[in-house]
Amino acid sequence: MNLEDVRASFGRQASFYANPQSAALFGDPAGLARMVELCAGAPGIRALDVATGTGFTALGLARAGCRVTALDLTRPMLLEARAAARKENIGVEFVEGDSHRCPLRSGSLDLVTCRLAAHHFPDPAAFVRESARVLAPGGRFYLFDISSPEDDTIARWIDDTETLRDPSHVSCWRGATWERLCASAGLRVVHSERPKWRYVMDHWFGRSDMTAEKRARLIERIKAVPSGWREVLSMDFAQDPPGFGTPLVEIVAMRD
Ligand SMILES: C[S@@+](CC[C@H](N)C(=O)[O-])C[C@H]1O[C@@H](n2cnc3c(N)ncnc32)[C@H](O)[C@@H]1O
């Protein structure tokens, strides 16, 4: 899938992000507060939120006192984000663009964030390089996303499952990959965690172009997971269909 397809796919999904389950996932107040605590303590810092979607993270940063620019590939997502900002009377600058070729000046920012989006990026190295380029010395890079375990077979299962659900998925890049890319881009990792979670399954199924046939195939696939993988995938067979979650990655890296 190329960037045009990604844009078209999210263009169709934009209004779905207004529902309460999306707000709970992307706008999770505890998650946003944690990001602010890790990275955005001082008021007035210049922040860029990459792949902002409908703006949950960007608005969270702006509420915390940051001066925020929010970048996304997909105009309908940005329109939703702009409307949300206007509703709260929050000033955020919205920019249409690609995370791999950031249209902002080198050294112009104190913080670059990207939450729950980087698994759509085909070239994470270019994204990290661009993030490092736009940061001023002392600036921070914050990444939070779905990820993969070290086991290649489980990692492949996760990516195949995500791609079956949402063809705009590229890869649940591993924490170790992000750490390596940060180091190559001159960013020093100061925080690296692998939290666990579980999807809200209705929301997970609902977030992309879903047919009954595709949903049934996904459920069969999840039910067939080998018992040895259940712990890594946080599987819950008490739910119907069974719940599961990919590992997460949360990284903060500094430009010295
Ligand atoms: C799940 S949404 C992001 C959620 C958002 N970060 C938040 O905190 O609410 C994924 C977004 O990534 C954007 N996206 C995907 N590939 C991109 C790229 N190469 N450059 C910029 N945005 C991209 C899509 O347009 C979509 O709006």
Q: Where are the domains of the chain?
A: 3-149+169-200+244-255
> Are 33 and 96 in contact, with CB atoms under 8 Å apart?
no
Residues with CB under 6 A from ligand 1: 3, 6, 10, 26, 51-53, 56-57, 72-74, 77, 98-100, 115-117, 120-121
What confidence score (pLDDT) does residue 64 get? 95
pLDDT > 90? residue 2: no
The C-alpha torsion from 119 through 122 and 128 to 133, rounded to 10°, is -140
pLDDT band at 153 (very low <50, low <70, confident <90, very high): very high
Domain 3-149+169-200+244-255: CATH superfamily, name plus number: Vaccinia Virus protein VP39 (3.40.50.150)
Interval 27-53 mean pLDDT: 94
Which tens digits make up the pLDDT trace of 175-188? 999 999 999 999 99
pLDDT > 90? residue 20: no
pLDDT > 80? residue 154: yes
Which tens digits make up the pLDDT trace of 184-230? 999 999 999 999 999 999 889 886 678 899 999 999 999 999 999 99
Q: Choose the residue to mutate in 6, 57, 129 for probing ligand 1, maximizing ligand atoms within 8 Å of C-beta.
A: 6
Interval 237-256 mean pLDDT: 95
CA of 240 to the centre of ligand 1 (A): 30
CA of 73 to the centre of ligand 1 (A): 7
Name the pTM for this structure: 0.96
Which tens digits make up the pLDDT trace of 95-131? 999 999 999 999 999 999 999 999 999 999 999 999 9
Query: How large a percentage of the chain has pLDDT more than 90?
Result: 83
CA of 202 to the centre of ligand 1 (A): 21
Interval 241-252 mean pLDDT: 96
The overall longest dimension of the chain from CA atoms, in Å, is: 51
